[in-house]
């Protein structure tokens, strides 16, 4: 296996390894897992992807999430991200599918609004537009390490509230349905996720974050916005231009990402699997010792 760096001080393409190798071979998994802990973002090119292969690969890293209510693929281990409607045609720009793609274009980490956050997301390209539709990534580990030590210490002892409805309401009021809102109450997480393997901290931020526990609402949101701006400053991102056969996985503990727009009349179909974080991934230390009052 060859590790080829792709991004500004994070991210790597792995060559000479397939999804099936990782699914079937302990040594291949161990090598890929070590690269994941170190590089936060892994690119696999030229893969022969099927749903079954993607899921078998995903299961190596931990328990796969069951897709939430309101997403395409609900009740399965797959999330379908698409602008192709049930009739096989590309949906209009005001369709719910298209609006959800807009919400994905805000900087976020996946599943911070869930009661169990995500270790990693695995995304495969199935139908890709000619132009645009890239996925852009930043390292929130490097962003954390750029902050001054006093702020690092403060954040390590701070907790932020995350709510799916918050990020969706930035796109359109009511985009999160009443069922989704009921199923996804706000969650509170430490603002720094320390990787148990290498000890490095990362900002745990997302478009879903709306308040800092114990801080005035306006000041808390301003802090979240300032940290997001610093984490996504020009020159810090890796932009993945999708090609057929690409699979990209990222560490939701140590990165943020956003989708990039593409022409509204071009179809795009991506399949995501998501793996829940476990105690071994450091999730226990992320929970507040007391549930703060909202
Ligand atoms: Fe995402």
pTM for the predicted model, two decimal places: 0.96
Instruction: Please say if the pLDDT value at position 145 is more than 70.
Output: yes
The partner residues of 47 in beta bridges, in order of sequence, read: none
User: Three-state DSSP class for 26?
Assistant: helix
- CA of 218 from ligand 1 middle (Å) equals 26
- CA of 108 from ligand 1 middle (Å) equals 6
- CA of 23 from ligand 1 middle (Å) equals 23
Relative to beta strand 192-194, strand 12-15 is: unpaired
- CA of 102 from ligand 1 middle (Å) equals 11
Averaged pLDDT score across all residues of the chain: 95
CB atoms within 10 A of CB 290: 9
- CA of 150 from ligand 1 middle (Å) equals 30
Q: Around ion ligand 1, which residues have CB less than 5 A away?
A: 110
- CA of 147 from ligand 1 middle (Å) equals 25
Residue 128: per-residue pLDDT: 95
- CA of 110 from ligand 1 middle (Å) equals 5
Residue 291: per-residue pLDDT: 47
Q: Are 29 and 17 in contact (CB under 8 A)?
A: no
Section 105-119 average pLDDT: 97
CB atoms within 10 A of CB 202: 26
- CA of 257 from ligand 1 middle (Å) equals 6
Q: What is the pLDDT of residues 45-100, one digit of tens each?
A: 999 999 999 999 999 999 999 998 989 999 999 999 999 999 999 999 889 888 98
Whole-angstrom Cα distance, residue 182 to residue 269?
28
Residue 117 Cα distances to 111, 264, 274, 278, angstroms:
5, 31, 10, 9
- CA of 258 from ligand 1 middle (Å) equals 6
Section 192-208 average pLDDT: 97
Whole-angstrom Cα distance, residue 59 to residue 33?
12
Residue 96: per-residue pLDDT: 87
Q: Are 2 and 16 in contact (CB under 8 A)?
A: yes
> pLDDT band at residue 289, thresholds of 50, 70 and 90?
confident
- CA of 27 from ligand 1 middle (Å) equals 29
- CA of 236 from ligand 1 middle (Å) equals 18
- CA of 62 from ligand 1 middle (Å) equals 18
Residue 294: per-residue pLDDT: 38
């Amino acid at each position: 296996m060859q590790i080829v760096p792709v991004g500004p001080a994070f991210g790597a393409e792995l060559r000479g390894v397939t999804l099936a190798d990782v699914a079937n071979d302990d040594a291949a998994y161990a090598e890929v897992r070590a690269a994941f802990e170190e590089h936060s973002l892994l690119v696999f090119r030229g893969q022969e992807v099927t749903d079954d292969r993607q899921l078998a690969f995903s299961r190596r890293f931990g328990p796969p999430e069951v897709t939430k209510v309101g997403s395409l693929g609900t009740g399965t281990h797959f999330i379908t991200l698409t602008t192709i409607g049930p009739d096989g045609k590309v949906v209009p720009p005001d369709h719910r599918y298209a609006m959800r793609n807009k919400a994905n274009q805000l900087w976020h980490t996946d599943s911070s609004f869930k009661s169990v956050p995500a270790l990693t997301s695995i995304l495969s390209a199935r139908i890709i537009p000619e132009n645009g539709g890239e996925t852009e990534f930043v390292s929130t580990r490097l962003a954390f390490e750029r902050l001054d030590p006093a702020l690092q210490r403060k954040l390590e002892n701070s907790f932020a509230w995350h709510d799916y409805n918050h990020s969706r309401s930035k796109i359109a009021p009511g985009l999160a349905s009443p069922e989704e809102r009921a199923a996804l109450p706000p969650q509170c997480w430490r603002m720094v996720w320390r990787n148990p393997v290498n000890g490095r901290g990362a900002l745990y931020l997302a478009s879903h974050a709306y308040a800092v526990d114990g801080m005035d609402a306006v000041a808390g949101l301003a802090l979240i916005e300032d940290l997001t701006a610093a984490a996504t400053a020009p020159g810090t991102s890796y932009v993945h231009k999708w090609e057929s056969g690409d699979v990209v996985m990222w560490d939701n503990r140590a990165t943020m990402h956003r989708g990039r727009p593409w022409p509204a009349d071009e179809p795009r179909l991506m399949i995501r699997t998501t793996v829940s974080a476990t105690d071994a991934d450091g999730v226990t230390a992320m929970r507040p010792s007391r549930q703060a009052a909202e």
